Chain A
């Protein structure tokens, strides 16, 4: 059974029209992440939550926002999508322990901007 679920899998929007992508998890992990992955590139971390503590990467544009209303859900809001925001958006979770463990990824949400 899928443990990190992203919706929608495919999202088409118009230039400047706000978009929200969602992520839910059944793992009860305390850390949740949003990554942006453009074609043929490695994933790039946008931000992450440790519980409710929000951590923004220094180079994440203000156009990207996130919400985590509870342990299970996390949302990525793109306020005014530009053509350069077309990408795969990956949600991931992990648990903070003494030994650094793996991240668990969802299937991704592919965003197309027209």
Chain B
């Protein structure tokens, strides 16, 4: 089956620190990979995505590279801000015909000034 394993939280960092949130996956078929972000009391927003091996998704200073050889899609940001405090979900969706988005457990990130 399909599954996503995500770094346990919560994670607390100081402003301007480097961020890595690890994500690995198992999938039948060839998945697309996503990072979603959820701010308090809100729905999920797509942060970035990658649809094939070696693709790099990027948005708002966040990056993640689709690594097929290590089945990973780690999220990184060089300098975090207080406004990045949120819950981050890694997710995958496999090939045509399967509509489901499989989520990791989520990582709560808190940035302190």
Contact = CB atoms under 8 A, between A and B. Distances in A.
Interface of A: 4, 6, 31, 33, 40-43, 45, 48, 50, 55, 90, 92, 94, 96-108, 110
Contacts of B42: 107-108
Contacts, number: 66
A110 B105 CA distance: 20
Interface of B: 31-32, 34, 36, 41-46, 49, 51, 89, 93-101, 103-106, 108
Nearest to A110: B41
B94 A100 contact: yes
B89 A42 contact: yes
B99 A55 contact: yes
Nearest to B95: A100
17 contacts: A40-B106, A40-B108, A41-B105, A41-B106, A42-B104, A43-B103, A45-B101, A48-B99, A48-B100, A97-B96, A100-B96, A100-B98, A102-B34, A103-B93, A104-B46, A106-B43, A110-B41
Contacts of A100: 31-32, 51, 93-96, 98
Nearest to B34: A102
